[in-house]
Amino acid sequence: MFALALHGGAGTIARAALTPALEADYRAALRAALDLGTDLLAQGAPALDAVEATVRSLEDCPLFNAGRGAVFTHEGHHEMDAALMDGATRRAGAVAGVREVQNPIRAARLVMEQTEHVLLAYPGADQLAREHGLPLQPPAYFFTQQRYDQLQEAIAAGRVQLDHTPSDPPKLDPNWKKGTVGAVARDQRGHLAAATSTGGMTNKRYARIGDTPLIGAGTWADAHCAISCTGHGEYFIRAVASYDVACLMEYRGLSLAEACRVVVHDKLAPVGGEGGLIAVDAAGNLALPFNSEGMYRASRNMAGEVHIAIY
């Protein structure tokens, strides 16, 4: 009796730009990450282990804006954020702006388990990872031609962007700023956990940090629910989006599905907060709402039913 959901980012995912071959690649990557996480849960692993492993799988795939597929900053390097939270204990760990860590989600767990802190930023977060022997990679590991081309396009247009920014309609629409991976799980003991990782915004400057590593904004887990968000981070920060879902459930008695709907469609959408989230509650119910054109997502519910979708 377990459940798992994951996402690979939300936003304006143009059908015309997603060839059948590329769509098949995305679906295969989503399925591989889902299988990895559900296999662990089936073996009795804790929810925290399952979400970390699931996110690591997505970080290792260059298709997604996290880890190996992270986008470029204005200066031409990578600044990655990640967080995870254990619902049973409310312990959490997060990193911001790491540049060398192969899997930022592993560094986030290191913060949770090996320090008395919640959030560490570059360069300290990279130093902690180095001291504990986490795999580090040179800049070439994180280089992909697609991400580099996105940077050049963004610099030429004078804008900041994330994944799924199409060249037509207009390039300067500020709402095309989505690109994150995440996972939520309910294990066989009924415990919940959430994990989120991102490469941030293409052409971002001044060490910008989004909602992903901020507990209560892009990532949350307690005894009632676990949430991982993806979208325009500034809006999710101002809405304290993931914690708001938990509050609506605890204080207003809303179901998981209704609480997620209120946050994504009633609170975020009207003010321009395009994106979505994935969530699971203590009973194993799942919710994967989004208000954008698409969201890469996959899930396995308590009945064992698998769902993989993009639009």
Q: Is position 230 annotated in a ligand binding site?
A: yes
Query: 92-131 b/e with 16+ CB inside 10 Å = b?
Result: bbbbbbbbbbbbbbbbbbbbbeeeeebbbbbeebbebbee
54 within 8 A of 199, measured Cβ to Cβ: no
Helix (H) or strand (E) holding 306: strand 306-309
Q: Is position 273 annotated in a ligand binding site?
A: no
Q: Is position 191 annotated in a ligand binding site?
A: no
Alpha-carbon span 135 to 164, nearest angstrom: 29
Alpha-carbon span 118 to 214, nearest angstrom: 9
Q: Is position 19 annotated in a ligand binding site?
A: no
Q: Is position 164 annotated in a ligand binding site?
A: no
* 119-121 and 91-98 beta bridge pairing: parallel
Length of the chain: 311
Q: Is position 198 annotated in a ligand binding site?
A: no
Helix (H) or strand (E) holding 192: strand 192-198
Q: Is position 231 annotated in a ligand binding site?
A: yes
Which pairs with CB-CB distance under 8 Å and at least 24 residues apart come from 245-251?
A: 245/220, 245/277, 245/279, 246/220, 246/222, 249/224, 249/225, 249/281, 250/224
Q: Is position 209 annotated in a ligand binding site?
A: yes
38, 54, 165, 180: the catalytic one is 180
Alpha-carbon span 237 to 254, nearest angstrom: 22
Q: Does residue 180 have an active-site annotation?
A: yes
* 3-11 and 294-300 beta bridge pairing: antiparallel
- Reduced to 3 states, what is the DSSP secondary structure of residue 124? helix
Question: What's the DSSP call for residue 267?
Answer: I
Which residues belong to the annotated binding site? 208-211, 230-233
Q: What residues are labeled active site?
A: 180
Which residues belong to the annotated binding site for substrate? 208-211, 230-233
